[in-house]
Structure formats: structure tokens, C-alpha cells
Amino acid sequence: EWLPDNYFKGGRTLTRGGALTGTTEPELYQAERFGHFTYAIPVAAGRYRVKLHFAERYFGPSNPSPAGKGVGSRVFHVFCNGEALLRNFDIFHEAGGMDRAVTRTFDGLTPDAQGKLLLEFRPVTNYALVNAIEVTDEAWK
């Protein structure tokens, strides 16, 4: 079950069209949240799998801007409850190009003292970005 973008603070959203490869669910990648932002996702006590969905839809060879043409144009960190999940993550590099879906999965994550998975997307070069966040209770695997 997919829900609308909730539990966030900061960042902005944008919808993009066009073809995308590397996924059977391209609709997940039509919208993105970008900037410096956090999600405080409420969960019950337990262990969780978090799957982050990304696609670089702006920086690449078709971008007329001199601001970025691919690798190194967008680099950011992702933290969960203060612990680094991704450091210097570059979607373009990891996906092998523009308009290609890439996911990263993290197991064994537990909520903070307030019962939340606090995900922080912190820019290094340009803005951080995420297209979708999937949270699954590991007890249901």
C-alpha cells in the first residue's frame, strides 16, 4: 500500500514526466521531494526494512544548464535516527545514468524514543532527493 507524501519537514516537491528504466513501478518516480528535508515516520516498536527509491531526472546530458551534466552533480547523505545510511550518494553514478531507477534497502532499523524512524536527507552538492520511501515491518517478511 502506497500513501501520499506525509511526515516530512522541509524540502519541496516536483512532478516530472518522461520515460524511466529499471523499475516495474515507474509511477513511484514521477514525483520527488528535494532539498534539505526530514521524514519522521511513526512506527510501532520493532525492526523495520526501509527501501529508498531514487531516479535522477534533472542532471544529465539532456540538461541544458552548465550546473550539472551527470556524475557529481547531485551528492547527498541519508541518515536514520542519526546513523548514516548513505554517504556521498550520487544517484546518477549509482544508477548508471539519467532516468534510471535505483533503490537502496536497509534492514534492522528501529524507532527512536518517540516511536519514529527519523530519516534526514542532507545535501552535499546541490539538493538531496528521494522519489519514494518504503517501510516494512521485518516481522512480516
Report whether pLDDT(27) > 60: yes
CB-based contact 12:33 (threshold 8 Å): yes
Q: What is the DSSP letter of 94?
A: H
The reported pLDDT for the residue numbered 139 is 82
The reported pLDDT for the residue numbered 59 is 85
Chain segment 33-48, per-residue pLDDT in tens: 999 999 999 999 999 9
Nearest-Å Rg of the Cα atoms of the chain is 15
Residue 55's alpha-carbon distances to 67, 77, 86, 140, in angstroms, are 18, 15, 15, 27
The reported pLDDT for the residue numbered 65 is 62
- The whole-number average pLDDT for the span 81-101 is 96
Does pTM top 0.85 for this prediction? yes
Q: What is the DSSP letter of 97?
A: S
Report whether pLDDT(126) > 70: yes
CB-based contact 101:53 (threshold 8 Å): yes
Average pLDDT, the chain: 93
The reported pLDDT for the residue numbered 83 is 97
Chain segment 46-73, per-residue pLDDT in tens: 999 999 999 999 887 776 666 667 899 9
Q: Grid coordinates in use for 107? A: 534492514
Spatial separation of the C-alpha atoms in residues 129 and 99, rounded to whole Å: 14
Q: Which residues contact 60 (CB under 8 A, 6 or more apart)?
A: 69, 70, 92, 97, 98, 99
- The whole-number average pLDDT for the span 14-29 is 92
Question: Alpha-carbon dihedral of residues 84, 90, 94, 95, nearest 10 degrees?
Answer: 130
- The whole-number average pLDDT for the span 16-37 is 93
> 17 pLDDT band (50/70/90 cuts)?
confident
